Amino acid sequence: MYTHSFLTISIIMIATVFISVLFFSTEQRKGTVKALMILALITTIFVFILVNITGLLGYIDYRMAVPDSPKTIILGLSPFVHEVYFETMEYVSLLGPIWATLITWLVWHYKEKIFTNVAIKSTISVLVILALSYALVIAYTGIVPTRIEAIH
């Protein structure tokens, strides 16, 4: 699960850098568009790995039907945490790869137009800010159950 946590933190950090580059750069700065394209692609790859690979591996361990599995421990200590936080994270996180792919496609499709067309820049900005907020909420819903299980 350390890889899962590392990817989550990395995605949040890369998205923050992406927003900074998008807001504080112009197309005249050499390499700005290429930097946005690379950041978007890396983030999308990380999101796919996070949800589809490390998330699945963690999910298998979490759901094991043994007395000392994380799910059993959390259900014994605080069923609310499992039912609300973890169940929400499991289903809502499936939107992440789709959302990341959309943002990456927009960046790769519009390239230099991002800085010349206000509507495109605004749309990408809103999508990235919402995606970052979404990632923070999803990370929080995963941290709470994980910390409860680790403390136990």
Taking the domains of the chain in order of start, what are their residue ranges? Answer: 2-151
Lowest mean pLDDT among 37-51, 79-93, 95-109, 122-136: 79-93
User: What distances in angstroms separate CA 50 from CA 4, 55, 56, 72, 114, one per listed residue?
Assistant: 6, 6, 9, 23, 28
pLDDT in tens, 74-110: 777 777 777 777 777 778 888 889 999 999 999 999 9
Q: Residue 119: what pLDDT?
A: 94
- For 44-58, 108-122, 123-137, which range has the lowest pLDDT when averaged over its residues? 44-58
Q: What is the structure's pLDDT at 120?
A: 93
